[in-house]
Copies of this chain bind each other. A is one copy, B any other.
Amino acid sequence: MSRTPLLIAGAFDAADKARLEAAHPSAYVAGPEDMASLDNETRASVRAIAYKGHKPLGGEAMDHFPNLGLIANFGVGYDAIDVNAASARGVKVTNTPDVLNDDVADLAVALLLAQCRNMIAGDARARTGQWAREGELPLNRKASGSSVGIVGLGRIGREIADRLAAFKMDIHYHARSEKQTPGWTYYADVVSLAQAVDFLVIALVGGPATEKYVTRDAIEALGPRGVIVNISRGTTIDEAALLDALETGKIAGAGLDVFLNEPNIDPRFAALDNVVLQPHQGSGTVETRRAMALLQLENVTAHLEGQPLITPVN
């Protein structure tokens, strides 16, 4: 059996998988649960894993590969990977930051506008002939000129804020520390931020440190005119509290690209007419997924050739 320095793990697009296979001798598994079934020789030869997926990839899986030096994640969010376990084993982790910032920010703005302007119902009304039979929709809500609170002013959060500033919105934000952002207003906690704004956009990283970071109290502080947009991770908000607030009118609505237990999302979402839902497609464009795949491959190649990693996270 030939040496296979690369293990490709996850539900890769065919073209991305073929590109990895063409670049390096490789083996393939569908996910972490299949890693144990690889033969000993393959496991011993694996030096890098190209990973794609949201299933947990922990120390036990890493221990199958005595010569593992890199887990190259497809995606900016690497919360599926136990980075502490990797670091403890001398395994580097890389992600694909920046190349997806534009797409995720675009979808955040689009979710905000689509919720405000009732566009899902609008499309159905025009498309089904309801417009002719029943007349116009109830008036919806102005977006421009509102105030927005960004939770997490990292690279994606800044892209969102820059776009919304062009809609003449007042920019407020919460982050671990105050940033150099003239004209934008900093809040040390999410509840104070939520009290100050019409729209709350969550742009946190995922992982244990941000679990339920947007609490029930923060959701309720937003108030009955408030709209929440989440393009980060389902874990970053108290989802049960969000559903309660949406069902009881404690907030006005939400635009959501991320959920707990994707793709088996809570069926309570389906019954809501004040939300716009998307199937976790923040970075889901042809252009960006290709850029992410190329950056993942660059990291793999750098490691296998002994060059510095492009985008290490540990």
Contacts and interface: CB of A to CB of B under 8 A. Distances in A.
Contacts of A135: 263
Contact of A137 (B129, B259, B284): B284
Interface in A105-136: 105-107, 109-110, 113-114, 116-120, 122-123, 125-129, 131-132, 135-136
A87 interface: no
A14 interface: no
Contact of A114 (B102, B110, B262, B285): B110
Interface residues of A, number: 59
A125 B102 CA distance: 23
A168 to B, nearest CB: 7
Interface stretch (A22-30, A57-65, A212-220, A270-278): A270-278
Contact of A265 (B119, B126, B141): B126
A103 B142 contact: yes
A264 interface: yes
B276 A128 contact: no
A134 to B, nearest CB: 9
A110 B144 CA distance: 12
Nearest to A291: B142
Please tell me how many copies of the chain the complex holds: 2
A128 B87 CA distance: 41
A105 B137 contact: no
Interface stretch (A148-156, A159-167, A179-187, A202-210): A159-167
Contacts of A113: 106-107, 109-110, 113
Nearest to A264: B132
A287 B198 CA distance: 14
B110 A117 contact: yes
A1 interface: no
B131 A279 contact: yes
Contact of A128 (B136, B168, B270): B270
B117 A106 contact: yes
A139 interface: yes
